[in-house]
Amino acid sequence: MAKEEIPETAGKQTDKAPPEAVDMTLAEPSLAETPQTPPDPEPATTPESSAPPILDPAPVASPAPPPASASAPPAKRGGFLPLVLGGVVAGAIGYGLAFVQDQQGGGGTDVAAELAARDATIAELQSRLSNLEGTTADLADGPDIGPLQSEVEAASTAAAEASGSVAGLRDDLTASIDALGEDVSGFEDRLTNLEQRPEADGSLSTEAIDAYEREIAGLREETAQAVDDLTSRVSSVEDGFEELRAEITDGLAAVRAEAAAVETQSEAAATAAEARAALSGIRSGVESGVPYADAMETFVQIGAAEAPEVLAANADGGVPSVATLRAEFPDAAREALATVRSENEGGGMGGFFQRQFNVRSVEPREGDSADAVLSRAEAAVAEGRLQDALAEIETLPDGAKEALSGWTEAATTRVEALAAVDTLTQMLTAN
């Protein structure tokens, strides 16, 4: 099997024609335009030792200049310096053209290094030209140097044109290098394909094996890079999941805590509501004087508060009502008054009739006698002011208090029961 022939392009000349060389040779000044001055007795030296030597043309006789005034400075020689400048510029142009031709002819040189060397040379020439221009500036007070300035300007223009040509060449070389890179890339692909082709006997050549190994190594590197990237992404995702999981866990904990608090508050509110309902039943029983055992049992089961003894002890039978206490007070008062009168024998006929008929005052009156005290106590009972009535009874003699002990105990039970209900109500309301 014939091997495919690879065209050789390394030494092949490029189809692109070199840019047309620009004629940048500085025209020599004519003898008519060159100012002539009498030669100096001493020979002149060149300002730049590196410039190539240029022969000074023989001076041509010219009409004698008019006589100078007594105050004018001696004339200076001005024909040598323009020739020196012309030589420098001509050397720069010649070097640039040689460099351009060398760049076009040599395809294997380092383009970047040559461009850098060319730029350095141009910079050096421009520096030398600037020095020469400075030298001409020092001669401003001398004779007319107009022709010299014209030559300097012409040299500057020529140098600028040379720089433009070099810049164009740089662009052309850059484009050529880019095209060459594309060609080399295509040749590498074709070479790889050729290397991987088996031999005529079906075996693989060393070049093919090396090509496959390079390709496998590249695939391994790409696979390893992809695995690393995927691992990094997975780690990043896992970190994000962990952060999200932590946030969710914290959020759930906060929600659970809040729900538990709400549930506790709800249960407490429900318990308080049930306790208040049961307490309302207890209050109703105490105020009306009827049993309140069911309401009391519910209140105890709820456990909102401890039931006072006075309420628990009277739940089955109820506490005495105001109506009952009001109805029983007259008999108890007469008995107490009789006891007091029996202890105080005497008093004449009036006292005798009071004891016999048990006469007592039914309207409240002033005084500290037993009859006056009992009259005020009865009036307080009639108005439902049991505490005031009990306070009046406490001022009676012991015999009278003993006679009223049953009524006093019943009234005290009612007063204490109502006070206990008020205390429980305030407690539940506060919670």
Residue 65 has pLDDT above 50, yes or no: no
Of 82 and 162, the one with more pLDDT: 162
Per-range mean pLDDT, top range of 106-110, 226-230, 314-318 = 314-318
Q: Return the half-sphere exposure (C-beta side, CA atoms, 13 A cut-off) of residue 64.
A: 3
Percent of the chain having pLDDT more than 90? Answer: 27
Q: Which residues contact 325 (CB under 8 A, 6 or more apart)?
A: 381, 386, 407, 410, 411, 414
280-306: per-residue pLDDT in tens?
Answer: 999 999 999 999 999 999 999 988 788
Q: Highest mean pLDDT: which of 104-108, 141-145, 233-237?
A: 233-237
Can you give the pLDDT at residue 189?
65
- Map residue 2 onto helix, strand or coil: coil
Please report which confidence band the pLDDT of residue 146 belongs to, taking 50, 70 and 90 as the band edges.
low
Please, are residues 285 and 295 in contact by the beta-carbon 8 Å criterion? yes
Per-range mean pLDDT, top range of 25-34, 37-46, 264-273:
264-273
Give yes or no for a contact between 138 and 81, defined as CB atoms under 8 angstroms apart: no
Which pLDDT tens digit goes with each residue over 367-420? 888 889 999 999 999 999 999 999 999 999 998 999 999 999 999 999 999 999
Average pLDDT over residues 261-275: 89
pTM beyond 0.75? no
pLDDT at 120: 82
Residue pLDDT, tens place only, 332-366: 999 988 888 886 654 444 444 445 445 667 788 88
As a whole number of angstroms, the distance between CA 361 and CA 352 comes to 16
Q: Are 384 and 375 contacting, i.e. CB atoms less than 8 angstroms apart?
A: no
Q: What is the tens place of the pLDDT at every residue in 182-228?
A: 665 665 665 566 555 665 665 667 877 788 788 888 888 988 898 88
